[in-house]
Amino acid sequence: MTEQMLIVSKGAMVQKPNKAGLEEIAHLLWFGHLPTRAELASLQASLLEQRQLSRDLLALLRTLSPETAPMDALRTVVSAWGMYANVQGKPSIEQAIALTARFPLILATFNRLRQGLEVLEPRADLGYTANYLYLLTGQEPKAEHIKGLDAYLVMLADHSMNASTFTARIVASTASDLASAVVAAISALKGPLHGGAADKAQEMLAAIGTAENAEPWIRATLTSGGRLMGFGHRAYKTTDPRSEELREMARHADPIGFAFARHVEELAISTLAEIKPGRRLYTNVDFYSAVLLSSVGIPVDLFTPTFAVARIAGWTAHILEQAANNRLIRPLAEYIGPDQHAFIPLDQR
Ligand code: ACO
């Protein structure tokens, strides 16, 4: 692991929420240090300059059915961006900025179109996070919503070698282009065992419905072999530290939603310990994301895409790092099947 990779891996984790905004963290991930005021202004100007969707991309978005899953829409439009913008060759910081600037636009535009609403022009007077909220809702974003969403985006901007980041690095390691690596990362994040758990956690809370129903619902799900979304983690065998931060953010953002989620969380952890002894299953980042994102007005099916809006800075930082010092990632597989058989020609089998 290189020094830069350590920075990328730990960058988002060492920041407490509300101490630095998403653009500052993107600078940390891309350039290896927090920006000075001048560096931040320069990055913000670059992101602003790229805050636009071409006619081709808008036309493509208009062809998508309102039923399209938002992660599919994001994946498709990012792939088309790579094609129309002719994103080829070695990944560059300019490409990373161009794509990061477009992620919120793609999702907000899709969200407006599927509701039959007019597409809004991005506003130059709003920062990255505020602009996303404005484009989604068409309303002046509230200060506490901007703060809550920005803290969420910072928290999820990067997280070492998770499945989607690893996927991005594998694609980048073949000397493929940045858009292709990000399309692959989106595809990995979509899965419900990874980022796709965010909306599933919200669906779980909605299905439980009442405090009294929590215990029987959790027990029935676990005894029938189901999984509780927002719990368990491949790397953390204790509470995901991000979930502790998100728990506090959710407590302030939506006290009523929080109280119910906290009740479900406590029962989930104790019932998991009873039914899955020794597995050490605790709350992960997706559980309180559900409460927090709901409280700032993000629609449930945009939870995972909003996770992607947070993670695009981290993905592209990893892609740039991989490309800068590349070697093909190619694991060996241990064959455990039957020993070699004699070859029998087709007409004799
Ligand atoms: N609910 C119930 N049981 C669980 C859960 C869960 N959330 N997670 C793991 N288990 C159980 C499994 O059933 C298995 O039990 P068994 O030994 O009786 O068969 C045991 O714990 C180990 O499960 P694995 O899938 O091998 O554990 P792993 O560490 O590979 O899984 C994962 C990690 C995929 C995140 C898992 O905990 C899970 O499916 N969680 C629910 C989905 C989720 O919240 N994903 C988001 C993760 S965070 C992120 O990616 C941003």
Q: Tell me: the pLDDT tens digits for 28-58? A: 999 999 999 999 999 999 999 999 999 999 9
Atom of ligand 1 nearest to the CA of 230: 44
Atom of ligand 1 nearest to the CA of 287: 44
Structure tokens at 308: 């992607």
**Quick check: 13 pLDDT over 70?**
no
pLDDT at site 240: 86
In the DSSP assignment, the letter for residue 231 is B
How confident is residue 8, by pLDDT bands cut at 50, 70 and 90? very low
310 touches 159 (CB < 8 A): no
Look at the block and give the residue holding tokens 């215990």: 215
**Quick check: 6 pLDDT over 50?**
no
Structure tokens at 149: 């969403």
Question: Phi/psi at 65 (nearest 5 deg)?
Answer: -65, 145
CA of 234 to the centre of ligand 1 (A): 7
Q: Per the residue annotation, which of 194, 254, 286, 318 is the catalytic one? A: 286
- Cβ neighbours of 264 (radius 10 Å): 23
Nearest CA to ligand 1 atom 31: 234
193-227 per-residue burial string, b: 16 or more CB within 10 A, e: under 16? ebbbbbbbbbebbeebeeeeebbebbeebbeeeeb
- The answer to whether residue 233 is catalytic is yes
**Quick check: 4 pLDDT over 80?**
no
Per residue in 157-173, pLDDT tens?
Answer: 999 999 999 999 999 99
Distance CA 53, CA 71 (A): 18
CA of 238 to the centre of ligand 1 (A): 13
Distance CA 233, CA 48 (A): 36
pLDDT (mean) for 282-289: 93
301 touches 69 (CB < 8 A): yes
pLDDT at site 64: 98
Per residue in 236-281, pLDDT tens?
Answer: 998 888 999 999 999 998 999 999 999 999 999 999 999 999 999 9
Mean pLDDT of the chain: 93
pLDDT at site 11: 38
Residues with CB under 6 A from ligand 1: 162, 193-195, 197, 222, 227-234, 276, 279, 281, 284-286
Per residue in 311-347, pLDDT tens?
Answer: 999 999 999 999 999 999 999 999 998 888 889 999 9
CA of 232 to the centre of ligand 1 (A): 5
The residues, ordered by sequence, that sit 6+ positions from 84 with a Cβ below 8 Å of its Cβ are 54, 56, 57
Nearest CA to ligand 1 atom 46: 194
181 touches 315 (CB < 8 A): yes
160 touches 181 (CB < 8 A): no
- Residue 209: beta bridge partners? none
**Quick check: 9 pLDDT over 60?**
no
Nearest CA to ligand 1 atom 32: 233
The per-residue DSSP string of 285-343 comes to HHHHHHHHHHHTT--GGGHHHHHHHHHHHHHHHHHHHHHHT-----------SPPPPPP
pLDDT (mean) for 106-131: 97
pLDDT at site 12: 39
Nearest CA to ligand 1 atom 23: 279
Per residue in 124-167, pLDDT tens?
Answer: 999 999 999 999 999 999 999 999 999 999 999 999 999 999 99
Structure tokens at 99: 């794509």
**Quick check: 7 pLDDT over 60?**
no
More confident residue, 76 or 240: 76
pLDDT at site 281: 96
How confident is residue 10, by pLDDT bands cut at 50, 70 and 90? very low
**Quick check: 14 pLDDT over 90?**
no
Distance of CA 209 to the CA centre of its chain: 26
The per-residue DSSP string of 250-274 comes to HHHH-HHHHHHHHHHHHHHHHHHHH
Atom of ligand 1 nearest to the CA of 232: 37
How confident is residue 17, by pLDDT bands cut at 50, 70 and 90? very low
Nearest CA to ligand 1 atom 35: 233
Distance CA 249, CA 151 (A): 9
pLDDT at site 75: 98
Structure tokens at 48: 């602003």
- The answer to whether residue 341 is catalytic is no
